[in-house]
Amino acid sequence: RRAGYAKLRDVEPRTKDGVRIEVMMNAGLRDDVAMLGMTGADGIGLYRTEFQFLVSAALPARERQARLYREVLEAAKGKKVIFRTVDIGGDKSLPYLVNKTGEEDENPAMGWRALRLSLEREGLLKAQARALLEGAAGRELNVMFPMVSEPWEFDEARKVFEHQVAYLRMRKHQLPSKINYGVMLEVPSLAEVLDLLLDRIAFVSIGTNDLTQFLFAADRSNPALAERYDWLSPAILRFLARVVKTCAPWPVDVGVCGEMGGRRLEALALIGIGLRRLSITPAAVGPLKELISTIDTRALSVRMDEWLAHPPPDMRAALRDWAQEQGV
Ligand code: PEP
Ligand code: MG
């Protein structure tokens, strides 16, 4: 099997009916980037920049951040890399970051984390923005913000980047050749107002790990709940289908970067509702490429539309049977 996946490494992932699916991988350490070549992924759909912070005793200096970003882009050899600004706070808390109340979050997943923290600790976001701009000098920079809950949070974060762009330009430093800004959609509130943001973002990346936790109000790290809700539930799939539909009229790329996309039937469902970019754990890249080559997207999307309108009692079983019937 492994040898079979290696054969797919240099093959563009296309469905049986010729639809190109972008298969990207998630990463967080510089050494992960080597997996791009090994797996043949199209790029890094989620680079979790907080890893560098979590393994450092103190806030990593801007120069160190910039060096890491430059090394990641060099190692990616021209493939697309989407950097996510830090998602720290909450359960990934750091001793040198304390919120304004001085108290620890009682409910860290819904607490002072990610972009909420970055916007309040503006020095931290400024330094990261500058480091990303410097690290990507002369190259394309793709940056996304985690846990955006309302459009103004995106606007504020982008403003911090644009100030740094203006500063570097004034100083005649080399800038990235292009900057694409995007949001992670992992807080359900954003989906309700996403249309208000589509005129000024390049991409949306759906974080199904947090999104599921917030949709079902079920802690993603609580093992007592791990088996209770299924990613293949009509609630999630209808939600995702609606996001795809909202974005469709705009030149905005929509992808999934949560763990859901790395599972066989889940990936099938995601492609069935129109998603064309999946970013997954490196080990799942080969199996996903193989799966994609067996799919007829037209037949699949007709079937998914029917199932979303009239959900079968067991979506997972229905998808499994259908896949078997179709030789997927
Ligand atoms: C997610 O929430 O789905 C996601 C990709 O981000 P993380 O797992 O880092 O929270
Ligand atoms: Mg998340």
Ligand located closest to 208 CA: 1
Q: pLDDT digits over 156-208, tens only?
A: 999 999 999 999 999 999 999 999 999 999 999 999 999 999 999 999 999 99
**Angle, CA of 77, 11 and 259, to the nearest 5°:** 75
Q: Considering every ligand atom, which ligand is closest to the CA of 281?
A: 1
Per-residue pLDDT at 103 exceeds 90 = no
Output 298 or 5, whichever has higher pLDDT: 298
Of the candidate ranges 2-16, 22-36, 255-269, the one whose mean pLDDT is the lowest:
2-16
Protein residue with its CA nearest to atom 4 in ligand 1: 207
Is the predicted pLDDT of residue 90 greater than 80, yes or no? no
Cβ 208 under 6 angstroms from ligand 1: yes
CB 210 near ligand 1, within 6 Å: yes
* Strand positions, DSSP E, 146-215: 178-185, 203-206
62 C-beta neighbours (distance < 10 Å), count: 16
Average pLDDT over residues 291-318: 98
Question: Phi/psi class of residue 241: alpha, beta or left (left: φ > 0; alpha: ψ in -120 to 50)?
Answer: alpha
pLDDT band at 276 (very low <50, low <70, confident <90, very high): very high
For residues 66 and 103, give the distance between their C-alpha atoms in angstroms, rounded to a whole number.
32
Confidence of residue 3 (pLDDT cuts 50, 70, 90): low
Please write the tens of the pLDDT for every residue from 48-59.
999 999 999 899
Q: What is the DSSP letter of 77?
A: T
Cα(28)–Cα(51) distance, integer angstroms: 6
| pLDDT of the residue at 144 | 98
CA dihedral 74, 36, 176, 191 (to 10 degrees): -160
ipTM of this model?
0.99
Give distance in angstroms: CA of 188 to centre of ligand 1: 14
CB of 279 closer than 6 angstroms to any ligand 1 atom:
no
Q: Write down the pLDDT at residue 2.
A: 61
Is pTM, for the whole model, over 0.90? Answer: yes
